[in-house]
Chain A
Amino acid sequence: MTAPGYPAPKISLRHIGKEFTVRPTKENPQGSRLTALQDISLEVAAGEFLTLVGPSGSGKTTLLDILAGLTKPDNGQVLVDGKEVTGPGRDRAVVFQQYALFPWRTAAANVSFGLEGATGLDGRKLSRSQRAEKAREYLQLVGLAGFEERFPHELSGGMKQRVAIARSLAYEPDILLMDEPFAALDAQTREQLQDELLRIWRSTGKTIIFITHGIDEAVYLGQRVAVLSSRPGRLKQLVDIDLGDRDGDVDLRSGAAFVEHRHRVWSLLHEEVLRAQEAGHAKIQPDGSAPDETWDATPQTTHGKAA
C-alpha cells in the first residue's frame, strides 16, 4: 500500500519549501521572513488515505494550500499524475474546517456549485435537472437525503460538513484534500463522520490527504501518517498503520495495534509540540501576521538551530 517505489504515484511533492513575510509590527518594525515549510518530499499512491499531523504552526494548512494550488511554493514542485500543479484544478477538491458553505445557497445548490459549467460524459454542459440529480445523489451518499432545500444556517455543524464533503465529491475529483474537517465537531459526530468518510473512501477509491491535530483520528483514518516537525515544517517521519481487518463492529480504538501505533505517533509528535511551545509558535494568518510571535532580530537562525 505504501508509495515509495510505486511506479507512478498519484501525488508527488518534491522538495517543497515556503517562506512567509511577517508583517512589520511595533516590536519588529522591519518585519521578518519565516520558513513555514522546508524541503518536504513525499509520494502518495493512487487511492491512498494519508493523514498529516504536526504541531500548531508546522505549516500543515500551508502544505494543503500548495497541494490545492491556492498558494505557490517558493521551492520545489507538486506533481499530480506526473504533471506540475500550477493552480487550482478540478482533479483536486478541498474540504475546510469551517465548512465554507455558501450561505445563500441551499444544501443542494451548494453541492451543485462545482458542477455549474462542468461538462458531462457526452461533452455537453450539465443541465439544471442533471445537476440537481447529482446533488441529490451525493447528498444521499453523505446521509443527507431529504435535506436538499435546507439553507446552511438550518443545518447542524455535522450536517454542514457532510454537505461540504458532498460538494467536494460531486464534481468527481480524484483527490480529496481535507483540512481538519472534523475539528469543530463534537466527539460523537466526529466518530460517526470518520466512519462515513472511510466508507466513502472505500466506495469511491479517492486519494485522500487528511490534515488533523488529533493523533487518534490520524491513526484511525490513515493508511500512513505523516508527522511534520515544528517550524520550519519538515517531514519528520512516515508511519505505516496496519490495524488489520476493519470490517465488523470491533472497537478498533481499544485494540492493541491501535494503541501501539497511536503511541508511536504520539511520541514523535510530542517532542515537536514541546519544541513548538518553547519557541512560542502560532498560526500564521493569511495576511502574513503571526499574532503570538515573539521574534528576536535573527529569527531564522534561532529556529534553524532549534529544528
Chain B
Amino acid sequence: MATPTLTKTASSRSWKVGVGEFFGNCRGVTSCPTLSSLVQYPARKGRARRLGLGSNHPVPAPVGVRTRVPGTGGHQGILPPLHEVLNALGSLISKGQLQTHLAASLTRSASGFEIAVVTAVVLGLLVAWYRSLDRFLNPLLEVFRNTAALALLPVFTLLLGIGEISKISIVAYAAFFPVLLNTIAGVRTMDPLLIRAARSLGLSNFRLFQKVILPSAVPTIFTGIRMAGTSSILVLIAAEMVGAKAGLGYLIVNSQMSFLIPDMYAGILTVSLLGLLVNYLLVAVERHFSRWRTAVGSQSL
C-alpha cells in the first residue's frame, strides 16, 4: 500500500510534516493531485469521468482527485478510493468507535455552543441597550474578538487542564463572538417605533426585552448562531487534534499517525457530514422563528 519513506515520515514526525512531505514528494509528477485538480472545473469533467470509468472507481467530486492518479499506485495509501473509506467508516461504526468519538465531540461542542449562545445573547442585548456598558466593554471585547480562539488554546489548557472543561471553554469562546456581534446588530437595527409602541402600552424593561426586542432581533441573531455552529465544530476538532483521548479530531489525527488512512478519511467525512447536519438543523430552526419575515421576491407587499 504505502511507500516506506512515507510510512517513516508519518511515524517519526508530526502529522503536519507528513502532509508537507506528501505534497513535496509528488512535486513534478504530472499525475499528482495539485490544488487546481482538487477543484473540478466543468471543462475537466469529461476527462475526469473518463479516467474515473477507466480506473474502476466511479466516484463523486471530492474523491475525484483519486481519478487524477490512476495506475500510479504510489499514493494509494494517501488517497484511498471511496469504497475503502466507506468500508473503514462501516467498520468504525460496527465496532462502536465512531459513535464514541462522535458522542465525545458532540457533547463538547454542544455544551460550549449552548453556553456561548446564552451568554452572548444576554450580553448582546445589554450591550446594545445600555450605551455606558457598551463604552466600557467595547475595547475589551474588540481585543478578545480579534484574538484567534486557537491561539488561546495553550492558555485554556494551562488554566483549565487538558480535560473537558478546557475544550468546552474554547468552543464557547469561539462561538461567543459571532452571536454577540449579531445580537448587538439585531438590536441596534430594530425599528424604534416598535419600542415606542410597546412603551405606550406600559411595558416594563424586562417585558420589552422579552416581547419586542428579542423577537425582532431573532433573525439577525440566528445569522450569528449559524456562524457560531460552524466555528464551534471547527475549533473543537482542532483542539481535539492537539490534546484529547477521544473525539473526531483525535480519531482523525490518531488514524493518520497510525497510518490508518481510510479511517482518517472516515473521520473527515464524518466531520463534513456533521457540519452539514448542524447547519441544516440551524437553518430549519431559523426558518421556524423567522416565518414572519417577508421573503425576497415574495408576492406580498
Contacts and interface: CB of A to CB of B under 8 A. Distances in A.
Given A116-B211, A153-B301, A100 B197 contact: yes
Nearest to B212: A102
Nearest to B197: A100
Contact of A103 (B196, B202, B207, B293): B293
Chain A interface secondary structure, helix, strand, loop or mixed? loop
Interface in B190-222: 191-194, 196-197, 199-202, 207, 211-212, 215-216, 218
Interface in A64-119: 68-70, 87-90, 92-94, 96, 98, 100, 102-105, 113-114, 116-117
A70 B194 CA distance: 13
Given A90-B201, A90-B202, A286-B192, 19 more contacts: A69-B200, A87-B202, A89-B202, A92-B200, A93-B201, A94-B196, A94-B200, A98-B193, A100-B196, A113-B211, A114-B201, A116-B211, A151-B291, A151-B292, A152-B292, A153-B300, A154-B300, A154-B301, A171-B201
A88 B199 contact: yes
Which of A69, A88, A92 counts the most chain B CB atoms within 10 A?
A: A88
Chain B interface secondary structure, helix, strand, loop or mixed? helix
A188 interface: no
Interface string B121-149: 00000000000000000000000000000
B202 A104 contact: no
21 contacts: A70-B196, A70-B200, A88-B200, A88-B201, A88-B202, A92-B200, A93-B201, A94-B197, A96-B193, A100-B194, A100-B196, A102-B197, A102-B215, A103-B292, A104-B215, A104-B216, A116-B211, A151-B292, A152-B292, A153-B293, A154-B301
B192 A70 contact: no
A208 to B, nearest CB: 15
A113 B201 contact: yes
A152 B197 CA distance: 15
Instruction: Indicate the size class of the contact surface on chain B.
Output: 20 to 34
Nearest to B200: A94
A192 interface: no
A156 interface: yes
Nearest to B299: A154
B189 interface: no
B211 A104 contact: no
Contacts of B293: 103, 153
Contacts, number: 59
Contacts of B300: 153-154
Contacts of A154: 300-301
Contacts of A102: 194, 197, 212, 215-216
B72 interface: no
Contacts of B207: 117
A89 B300 CA distance: 35
Interface residues of A, number: 28
Contact of A104 (B192, B193, B199, B218): B218
A156 B301 contact: yes
Interface in B80-118: none
Interface in A33-49: none
A84 to B, nearest CB: 16
B36 interface: no
Interface string B288-301: 00011110000011
A105 B196 contact: no
Contacts of A153: 292-294, 300-301
A246 B190 CA distance: 43
Q: Which 4 residue pairs spanning A and B have beta carbons closest together? A: A100-B197, A94-B200, A104-B292, A153-B294
A171 B293 CA distance: 27
A262 B191 CA distance: 36
A173 B200 CA distance: 12
Interface string A207-232: 00000000000000000000000000
B218 A70 contact: no
Interface in A144-191: 151-154, 156, 171
B202 A105 contact: no
A205 B293 CA distance: 37
A23 to B, nearest CB: 15
B129 to A, nearest CB: 16
Contacts of B191: 100
A117 B196 CA distance: 19
Which of B192, B200, B211, B291 counts the most chain A CB atoms within 10 A?
A: B200
Which of B197, B216, B301 counts the most chain A CB atoms within 10 A?
A: B197
Nearest to A97: B193
A70 B218 CA distance: 26
A113 B208 CA distance: 12
A96 B197 contact: yes
Which of A93, A94, A100 counts the most chain B CB atoms within 10 A?
A: A100
A114 B197 CA distance: 10
Nearest to B216: A104
A232 B199 CA distance: 27
A154 to B, nearest CB: 5
Nearest to A152: B292
Contacts of A286: 192
